[in-house]
């Protein structure tokens, strides 16, 4: 196994990692960091929880250390695009933590809050800007941020960005960037829209894929209970009341259902908060921090909102609704059994969602054990041959397949790699001569 020392990261970074308690690179880090240090474009297939943030943040910091120069006013040297405010904030915090022994200017911009502090934070230029696409375009449009000197671009959770309809914003941002840059794209899944996007944005990329899924999924004890849909709230209450539940995430398909389930649990003495796209930033942050500190026992989340949940000791995942996309099942249950711990994932399956269960079992290549010994068991749900509901666009949060289309022109072969910046950089930022 590779060690951080073998990766040859600069000393101030290694010191910060030791203080963070990181001893061994995770597989995505061991795979991606050497390529990124060489200045290559990269397609990283990894989900949250694999250590993907450090996989791009560490080599970027290494690059900045070896190529020190103050950014010109309003300019950005490294841009990280992220789909949600929560993720953007987490990435920015990670940069701050890993850079604690070096000088780094960094800022984060996202919508839903005033612009004033974000304009102030970027006024003198920054080494690293983490941004949600919409607000970034607003600030660029008003002349507060200048992307023309960009050296490295990272798109994080690109599949989620496409799901959330950011494809046009991403294209607009691309048009503002210099062709000579290093580009990194991380995605948890690889639908056609992502491979199109990767094809048009990356030049001769290295691809690194980690499948934490099998190892994590193997550690998760899974079960399914067949229940009528009107009994799901009671069944969920029974589940979260079990003595071994410490922190649980309950997944619903719809935002309004998430609210209803949280309300029901609260009425029955369980502290629960709903998190989904309609909640204000403040409400989501309060819910997350309550969950982290333990004052909130249960988070009721839709798939999209759950992407921002970065808590290591979730003891249980309960699927109030099964997801309509099998991959979402793997992502959901991956919220538990993090950091080497055990975890439980229990799904409630009603008659309508019976067909989705079959798809999920096909995806994970095993049958999920059925528990019938409980007060809400329904033979009708278990034996259902109903066709599942068709989820329309407005009923979001169901982890739909990557929307939007990657579009864009085919990539032409770029010029040979060239280096830029001072000597000592292993490869430097190479020309991405396309676009
Ligand atoms: P991420 O996939 O970037 O969201 O990271 C998931 C979690 O793993 C975060 O809490 C990180 O702080 C932690 N982490 C990342 N890399 C390592 C490592 N090499 N050793 C231990 N923990 C890590």
401: CB partners within 8 A, 6+ apart: 191, 325
Site to probe by mutation for ligand 1, drawn from 2, 20, 22, 51 as the one with most ligand atoms within 8 Å of Cβ, is 51
Res 429: pLDDT: 31
- Quick one: which atom of ligand 1 is closest to the CA of 49? 2
390: CB partners within 8 A, 6+ apart: none
Q: Hey, which bits of 105-243 come out as E strands?
A: 106-109, 126-131, 152-155, 182-187, 206-209, 220-226
Q: Give 49 Cα–ligand 1 centroid separation in angstroms.
A: 6
Res 313: pLDDT: 77
CA–CA gap between residue 344 and residue 335 (Å, rounded): 10
pLDDT tens over the chain, length 435 residues? 578 889 999 999 999 999 998 888 988 999 999 999 999 999 999 888 889 999 999 999 999 999 999 999 999 999 999 999 999 999 999 999 999 999 999 999 999 999 999 999 999 999 999 999 999 999 999 999 999 999 999 999 998 898 888 999 999 999 999 999 999 999 987 878 888 999 999 999 999 988 654 455 677 889 999 999 999 999 999 999 987 888 999 999 998 999 999 999 999 999 999 988 777 777 888 888 898 888 999 999 987 777 666 676 788 999 999 998 888 888 888 777 665 567 889 999 999 999 999 999 988 888 999 999 999 999 989 998 888 776 654 333 333 333 333 333 323 233 333 333 333 333 333 333 332
Report the candidate in 354, 331, 338 with the shortest Cα–Cα distance to residue 251. 331
pLDDT tens digits for range 412-428: 233 333 333 333 333 33
Is the beta carbon of 338 within 6 A of some atom in ligand 1? no
Domains of the chain (ranges plus CATH)? 4-211 (3.40.50.300), 214-411 (3.40.50.300)
Q: Give 398 Cα–ligand 1 centroid separation in angstroms.
A: 26
Q: Give 424 Cα–ligand 1 centroid separation in angstroms.
A: 28
Site to probe by mutation for ligand 1, drawn from 54, 98, 338 as the one with most ligand atoms within 8 Å of Cβ, is 54
Q: Give 34 Cα–ligand 1 centroid separation in angstroms.
A: 18
Cite the DSSP H helix spans in 176-231: 192-201, 212-219
Question: What dihedral angle (degrees, nearest 10) is formed by the CA atoms of 161, 167, 173, 178?
Answer: 100
Q: Give 97 Cα–ligand 1 centroid separation in angstroms.
A: 12
> How far is CA 140 from its chain centroid?
25
Res 398: pLDDT: 35
Is the beta carbon of 50 within 6 A of some atom in ligand 1? yes
Is the beta carbon of 308 within 6 A of some atom in ligand 1? no
Is the beta carbon of 47 within 6 A of some atom in ligand 1? no
Whether 39 and 62 have beta carbons less than 8 Å apart is answered as no
Site to probe by mutation for ligand 1, drawn from 6, 26, 208, 310 as the one with most ligand atoms within 8 Å of Cβ, is 26
pLDDT tens digits for range 48-57: 888 999 999 9
Whether 201 and 171 have beta carbons less than 8 Å apart is answered as no
Q: Give 22 Cα–ligand 1 centroid separation in angstroms.
A: 8
Which residue lies with its CA nearest to atom 20 of ligand 1?
22
Measure the CA angle with vertex 330, ends 402 and 335; round to 5°: 110
DSSP class per residue in 235-253: HHHHHHTSTT-SSEEEE-S
Which residue lies with its CA nearest to atom 19 of ligand 1?
25
Which residue lies with its CA nearest to atom 8 of ligand 1?
51
Whether 208 and 419 have beta carbons less than 8 Å apart is answered as no
The two tokens of residue 103 are 């000088």
């Amino acid at each position: 196994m590779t060690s951080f020392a073998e990766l040859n990261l600069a000393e101030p970074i290694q010191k910060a990692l030791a203080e963070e308690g990181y001893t061994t690179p995770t597989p995505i880090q061991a795979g991606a960091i050497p390529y990124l240090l060489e200045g290559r474009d990269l397609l990283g297939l990894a989900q949250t929880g694999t250590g993907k943030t450090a996989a791009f943040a560490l080599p970027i910091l290494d690059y900045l250390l070896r190529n020190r120069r103050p950014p010109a006013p309003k300019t950005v040297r490294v841009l990280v695009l992220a789909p949600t405010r929560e993720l953007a904030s987490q990435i920015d915090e990670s940069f701050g933590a890993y850079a604690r022994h070096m000088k780094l200017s960094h800022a984060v911009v996202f919508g839903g809050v005033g612009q004033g502090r974000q304009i102030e934070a970027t006024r003198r230029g920054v080494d690293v800007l983490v941004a949600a696409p919409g607000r970034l375009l607003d600030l660029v449009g008003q002349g507060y941020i200048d992307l023309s000197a960009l050296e490295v671009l990272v798109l994080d959770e690109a599949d989620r960005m496409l799901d959330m309809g950011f494809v046009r914003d991403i294209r607009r941002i691309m048009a503002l960037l210099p062709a000579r840059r290093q580009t990194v794209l991380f995605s948890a899944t690889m639908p056609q829209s992502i491979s199109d996007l990767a094809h048009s944005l990356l030049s001769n990329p290295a691809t690194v894929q980690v499948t934490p899924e099998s190892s994590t999924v193997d550690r998760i004890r899974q079960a399914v209970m067949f229940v009528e849909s009107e009994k799901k709230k009671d069944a969920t209450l029974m589940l979260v009341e079990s003595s071994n539940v410490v922190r649980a995430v309950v997944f619903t398909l719809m935002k309004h259902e998430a609210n209803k389930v949280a309300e029901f649990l609260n009425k029955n003495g369980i502290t629960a908060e709903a998190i989904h796209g309609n909640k204000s930033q403040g409400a989501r942050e309060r819910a997350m921090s309550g969950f982290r500190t333990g004052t909130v026992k249960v988070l009721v989340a839709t798939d999209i909102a759950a992407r921002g949940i970065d808590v290591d000791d979730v003891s249980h995942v309960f699927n109030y609704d099964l997801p309509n996309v099998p991959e979402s099942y793997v992502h959901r249950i991956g919220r538990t059994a993090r950091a080497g711990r055990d975890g439980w994932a229990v799904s409630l399956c009603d008659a309508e969602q019976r067909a989705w269960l079959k798809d999920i079992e096909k995806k994970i290549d095993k049958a999920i054990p059925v528990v019938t010994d409980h007060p809400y068991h329904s033979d009708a749900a278990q034996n259902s041959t109903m066709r599942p509901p068709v989820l329309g666009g407005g009923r979001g949060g169901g982890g739909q397949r990557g929307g939007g289309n990657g579009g864009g022109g085919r990539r032409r072969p770029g010029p040979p790699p060239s280096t830029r910046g001072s000597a000592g950089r292993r490869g430097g930022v190479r020309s991405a001569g396309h676009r």
